[in-house]
Amino acid sequence: STTAPTVGAISFTGSALTASGGGGAVIAGLGIDSSFNATAPLTVTNATGNGVSVSNVNAEAHFGAVTVSGAGGNGIDIGGNPGLVTFGTTNVTLGSGANTAGVNFSGTNGGVTFGTTTIGNVGANQTGIDFSGSSTTADFGVTTITGNGDLTSRGIDLSS
C-alpha cells in the first residue's frame, strides 16, 4: 500500500523530469504540513490516462514549466485541492480521446494558478479548459487555445 506524505517537503530539481506512456505524473493526498515542488521542467508524453493529475493537496503543490502531449485522458486533471496548486508556463497538446480537456477541474479547488498557457489540438467533443461542475478559484496568465475546427469542441466550459 502507498501512504501519502503528511509532513515534510518533496522537491524535484535539475534539468528535466520526463514520463512517456503509462500513468503520467500523479500528486495526491498531500497532508496539511507537506508540500511538493518540481522546479525541473516536467514533460509527459502519451500517458495512457491523464498526463498530470493533482488531487487532495491540502498544503501546496508547485510545478515549474509543464508540457503534456497525447494523453489518453485529460492533459492536466485538478480535483479536490483545498491547498494552493501552481503551474509555470504550461503547454498541452490534446490526444484524440473524446470528452477530455487540456485542463480539467473537478470538485472544490482553493487556489490554482497557471503561468502562460497554450492548449492545442482541441478536437471533437474536447474542451480546452473545463470548469464544468467544479467550484474553483483559478488564475491564468496569457492563454491561447486552438482547435482543429470541429463544431463540438469548446475553448472554455464554465457550465455548472
d(CA 157, CA 145): 12
Three cell numbers written together for 133: 461542475
As beta bridge partners, residue 69 has 45, 93
Listing from the earlier edge strand, what are the strands of the sheet with 117-122?
Answer: 17-20, 42-45, 66-69, 90-93, 117-122, 143-147
- Return the ∠ at Cα 72 (arms to 69 and 73), rounded to 5°: 100
Interior/surface letters 47-81, b for 16+ CB within 10 angstroms, e for the rest: beebbbbbbbbbbbbbbbbbbbbbbbbbbbbbbbb
pLDDT of residue 1: 43
pLDDT of residue 43: 98
Amino acid (1-letter code) at residue 102: G
pTM comes to: 0.94
d(CA 110, CA 156): 19
| pLDDT tens-place values along the chain, 160 residues long | 456 677 788 898 989 999 998 889 999 999 888 899 999 999 999 999 999 999 999 999 999 999 999 999 999 999 999 999 999 999 999 999 999 999 999 999 999 999 999 999 999 999 999 999 999 999 999 999 999 888 899 999 999 7
